[in-house]
Structure formats: structure tokens, C-alpha cells
Amino acid sequence: MRHVVPNQRFWVSLAAFLVAVSVFIPAKNSLAQDNNAASPEAHFPPLSAQAQDLMQNVKEIYFPFNIYSRTVNPDVLQSDTAYLKQHSDAQLWIQGYADIRGDIFYNLVLSYRRAQFVKSQLVKSGVNGSQIGFATGWGKLYPSCQSKDDSCYQQQRRVDIVPPDTM
């Protein structure tokens, strides 16, 4: 069997896209912020009832180290799928993450593949693909904790399913 490896132009294009997304989406949000606000909550509009419901009922999906095609707890993905099928009007974004170890480019690709894996599993299980605004990876750009231990690393190897209102 022949092993196909993407050429260098593919990897450069993917890296440029991921960097552009990571720069422009946070920049868009920071332009809208009021620097005189006293609390961080003042920067974001209140979430809709549907968005709050989504955030309460859909859980993070965790992955093993260096793996993007298998989850730590498949039951969570199944329960997320069941909720999203019942709420077919819910719009969502899928965001993949990786722990802080390793090269930034490798982690961007790994987290992107995790997000795409979750998206494909959701669609394969009956979630309407039009509910999903985008599925992308942030790599290690936004760590959820700062410790250098296994429990912190596990928290970072995840995919979040979030409503678009949160960005």
C-alpha cells in the first residue's frame, strides 16, 4: 500500500489559514470591547436562552495524548449527539485544542483534526451538518490551565462544542 504524504505547499497553506483564523477572530472581538468596562462580563453580550441551554447540556470531549480519532469517553460524544439531534435548531461551533507540549504547528494540526473528527462523528450520527458553523483547531493557543501535570494536560486535549454567541 502506498503511503501518501501531503506536499509542503499543503502544510504551509494550512498553517497560514490557522494563523489567520487565530489572529483575526480574537482581533474582531477585541475591537468591539469597551476598555472602560469594570468587569470582563461587560465585554460580552448576554447569552441567549438557547445558547445557555447548549452550554449546560453539551459537554467537552476529551482525547488521549497524540490521538485525534478516538475519544477518552465515547459516551459523552453520544450524549452530545443525542442532545443536538433533539435540538436541530441549535447553531454551534466546534473548537479543538491540544495540550501545551509539542510544536505549535503540530498542535494546530492535531487540534484541527480533533475538531473535524467530532464534526464527522456528529454528522454521521444524524446531526444536521448545517447546524455546524465551523470546526477548527486552536492548538495550544488558549490553555485551560497552567500546571505542568497530567491532569492539566488532559483538560487541554479536548473539543468544545459552543454556541456562536460566545465569541
Secondary structure E strands in the chain = 61-62, 92-96, 132-137, 158-162
Between strands 92-96 and 132-137, the pairing is: parallel
Query: 107, 68 in Cβ contact below 8 A?
Result: no
The reported pLDDT for the residue numbered 40 is: 43
pTM flag (> 0.85): no
User: From the DSSP assignment, how many helices (H) and strands (E) are in the chain?
Assistant: 5, 4
pLDDT score of 77 more than 90: yes
Q: Tell me what the mean pLDDT of segment 118-136 comes to.
A: 94
* Contact present, 72 and 64 (Cβ < 8 Å): yes
Worst-scoring range by mean pLDDT, 40-44, 68-72, 106-110, 155-159?
40-44
User: Sign of the C-alpha dihedral, residues 33, 98, 105, 163?
Assistant: negative
The fold for domain 46-166 equals 60s Ribosomal Protein L30; Chain: A; (3.30.1330)
**CA-wise closest residue to 41 among 50, 49, 33:** 33
Domain ranges (residues) in the chain: 46-166
Q: What is the mean predicted confidence (pLDDT) over 133-154?
A: 89
Question: End-to-end CA distance of the chain, in Å?
Answer: 44
The pLDDT tens digits for 15-52 are 667 666 666 665 444 444 444 444 444 455 678 888 88
44-58, 95-109, 118-132: lowest mean pLDDT where? 44-58
Q: Say if residue 48 is exposed, middle or buried (CB neighbours under 10 Å; 0-12, 13-18, 19+).
A: exposed
Cell of 87: 435540538
* DSSP per-residue letters across 43-69: GSPPPPHHHHHHHHHPPPEE--TT-SS
| Nearest residue to 95 (alpha-carbon basis) of 120, 79, 113 | 113
Give percent above pLDDT 70 in the chain. 75
Provide the edge-to-edge strand list for the sheet that holds 92-96: 61-62, 158-162, 92-96, 132-137
